[in-house]
Structure 1
Amino acid sequence: MNYLSLSDYLKDKYGTKVYKLSLTSGCTCPNRDGTISTGGCIFCSEGGSGDFAAKFMPLNEQITSARKLVDSKIPAKIPLSERKYIAYFQSFTNTYGDQQRLMTLFKEVLSYPEIVGLSIGTRPDCLSDEMIDFLAALNKTKEVWVELGLQTIHEETARFINRGYELSVFEDAYKRLTDAGLKVVVHVILGLPGESESDILETIKYLANLNPTLFGIKLQLLHVLKGTKLADMYEKEPFHIYELEEYCELVGKCLQLLPKETVIHRLTGDGPKKLLIAPLWSGNKKLVMNTMRKYISNL
């Protein structure tokens, strides 16, 4: 089957391959600092789901560091002056804290000519009208995405993983963001403890029927990482973790439910090998992606 990958979307829009620079805004999370909770979501590592992001330092230094990592993987035949990037603020909640500081940061990062867009990971309960208006204004100059960690539509699971907000909060944020003309990317975790395949597909069906149509989705394999509450649970009472073949089948079913115009930003994701407890097969990224592509192409 065919689906619209992020790589294809960006290549079609910008005429070349576009690379992500993982940056850090210096934010924390209301689910960690005591505003909502001190424990965070049970699957979240100390890096705040941004274990591959640059260290927090002046923006120009972060960009230089992130580009060095990314550029080492880009064919030398592509001149430095022709390379394009998306600035990705991934760790923790990137609209939580000093609004003026964050607005200055987001505006500054888009002033770099090689950066063609901005992607901001956040929570739906941390989006003020002021921030949404500001991002909508930025979006008129360069592309802006807002990434929301929904993970599941099921309230029982949401409470279990300590998400800290109800589905209605997501729905309100989605409406306000899309009304402002912003593109929304939703994160979904496949394989949360207690969720059946039917439960997971209900989440996907819900997202497939959003109005307006969902711009992008990240399908994330559940990782058990050292130092998380999920790891403690897994050690005491192991729960089902998908095998590679099972996971490929599930992703295939998800893709068949989603609108063709929804951009697939991620099919699995990968956790840092030094932290990964399960599933260990996910540490072999080349094997995983080759197996998934082969499976999906035969659907």
Structure 2
Amino acid sequence: MKQQTYTWGHTKRYNDFPTYFRSLFSERVQKVSVDAGFTCPNRDGTKGRGGCTYCNNKTFKPTYCNLENSVSHQVQQGIRFFEKKYKSMRFLAYFQAYTSTWAPLENLIPLYEEALQHPKIVGLVISTRPDAVDEALLDYLAELSQKVYVMVEFGLESHLNQSLEKINRGHTFADSVWALEQTSQRSINNCAHLILGLPGETRSDWLDQARVISQLPVKNLKLHQLQIHKETVLEKQYLQTPEQFQLFTADEYIELVVDYLELLNPKIIVERFISQAPPGMLIAPKWGLKNFEFVAKVEKRLKERDTWQGKKISKRAKPD
């Protein structure tokens, strides 16, 4: 029996990022993380103090990302690590720690371009907040994207302003819409990052989020389950009032992801479904699943339910 080919051009039941990325580059491309010493507007007092309630940057920063090392040294260390596994590779410099646009443009440009000096670096991925970019920066990135791959990754986290306030984000969803529209208008690759399971939100909210996001110019999407990490405000809240939290089992979250995908614009490329913190930093939930294992379970469940990304978007409501 011949497999169905979907609107995104292949037989996978969702528009997955690895397949898309292989279509862009002739060889394997890997991100290497860079910490350039940024802070955040809700840490330095511009918008607030203390940062987001869930955030502990130690959960995703490699050991070679040491501020004692220059950007170029961190890039080289990251490349050496991955070159041990794969001989033929190119790399993207991933400015991941904190808000990687939170500095004057004249300070940002040398940092980004230092990373691009390495001959195996073919582009940048810049992690930031929707309220931490301006038109001058975006104009520069638009020009840069004519020469190399550029993606700006925005932490939206929720489409509900009450949730954004509760987790101390310091911006509104209107800021998120503006940032996505501005990058899209300049043909800059963007990525929306969203957390499913924030306190006070419901299943109905998360499925409505899929509908809302589907109407926006989102190129790539990163989802992940709410996790409680050590040394965060969320840890204290969880220990004090655990009943306020709805932490998913792996099976519950798989069902939610499949339901979410059914309502998601098929043009949106899905980069990931889950986040993985080091076991020593994670309080809950503890699933014991690697990313590739979770993806396989989602793909299995999509097949079992005979469903796919965008299946439940009616033709009248289907985004352009």
Report the TM-score, using the length of structure 2 for normalisation.
0.85
Distance, in Å, in 1 between the alignment partners of 2:56 and 2:110 is 28
Q: Alignment partner for residue 144 of structure 1, among 122, 144, 150?
A: 150
Q: Alignment partner for residue 132 of structure 2, among 121, 126, 129?
A: 126
**SS of residue in 2 equivalent to 1:206:** helix
Unpaired runs of at least 5, structure 1? none
1:269 alignment partner in structure 2: 275
1:67 alignment partner in structure 2: 79
Distance, in Å, in 1 between the alignment partners of 2:124 and 2:290 is 29
1:34 alignment partner in structure 2: 45
Using a 3 Å threshold, how does the CA distance of structure 1 residues 214 and 169 change in structure 2: closer, same or farther?
same
Distance, in Å, in 1 between the alignment partners of 2:279 and 2:85 is 19
Residue 111 of structure 1 aligns to which amino acid in structure 2?
Q
1:51 alignment partner in structure 2: 61
Is the 8 Å Cα contact of residues 282 and 288 (structure 1) preserved in structure 2?
no
Distance, in Å, in 1 between the alignment partners of 2:276 and 2:30 is 17
1:249 alignment partner in structure 2: 255
The answer to whether the aligner puts 1:161 opposite 2:136 as a matched pair is no
Residue 225 of structure 1 aligns to which amino acid in structure 2?
H
Q: Alignment partner for residue 197 of structure 2, among 171, 176, 191?
A: 191
**SS of residue in 2 equivalent to 1:274:** helix
Distance, in Å, in 2 between the alignment partners of 1:166 and 1:46 is 22
Distance, in Å, in 2 between the alignment partners of 1:171 and 1:289 is 28
CA offset at residue 284 of structure 1?
Answer: 4.7
The answer to whether the aligner puts 1:219 opposite 2:227 as a matched pair is no
Distance, in Å, in 2 between the alignment partners of 1:73 and 1:116 is 19
Is the 8 Å Cα contact of residues 192 and 222 (structure 2) preserved in structure 1?
yes
State the identity %.
Answer: 31
Distance, in Å, in 2 between the alignment partners of 1:38 and 1:147 is 22
Unpaired runs of at least 5, structure 2? 1-11, 308-320
CA offset at residue 185 of structure 1?
Answer: 0.2
**SS of residue in 2 equivalent to 1:248:** helix
CA offset at residue 286 of structure 1?
Answer: 5.3
CA offset at residue 228 of structure 1?
Answer: 0.4
CA offset at residue 287 of structure 1?
Answer: 4.2
**SS of residue in 1 equivalent to 2:40:** coil
CA offset at residue 264 of structure 1?
Answer: 0.9
Is the 8 Å Cα contact of residues 94 and 124 (structure 2) preserved in structure 1?
yes
Q: Which has the larger radius of gyration?
A: 2
What is the RMSD computed on CA atoms of the aligned residues?
1.8
The answer to whether the aligner puts 1:178 opposite 2:184 as a matched pair is yes
Residue 269 of structure 2 aligns to which amino acid in structure 1?
V
CA offset at residue 11 of structure 1?
Answer: 0.7
Deviates more, 1:214-223 or 1:110-119: 110-119
Using a 3 Å threshold, how does the CA distance of structure 1 residues 37 and 106 change in structure 2: closer, same or farther?
same
Distance, in Å, in 2 between the alignment partners of 1:236 and 1:139 is 47
**SS of residue in 2 equivalent to 1:240:** coil
Distance, in Å, in 2 between the alignment partners of 1:290 and 1:263 is 17
Distance, in Å, in 1 between the alignment partners of 2:73 and 2:116 is 15
**SS of residue in 2 equivalent to 1:280:** coil
Segments ≥4 residues shifted beyond 4 Å: 282-287
1:234 alignment partner in structure 2: 238
**SS of residue in 1 equivalent to 2:238:** helix
2:3 alignment partner in structure 1: none
Is the 8 Å Cα contact of residues 214 and 262 (structure 1) preserved in structure 2?
yes
Q: Alignment partner for residue 19 of structure 1, among 10, 17, 30?
A: 30
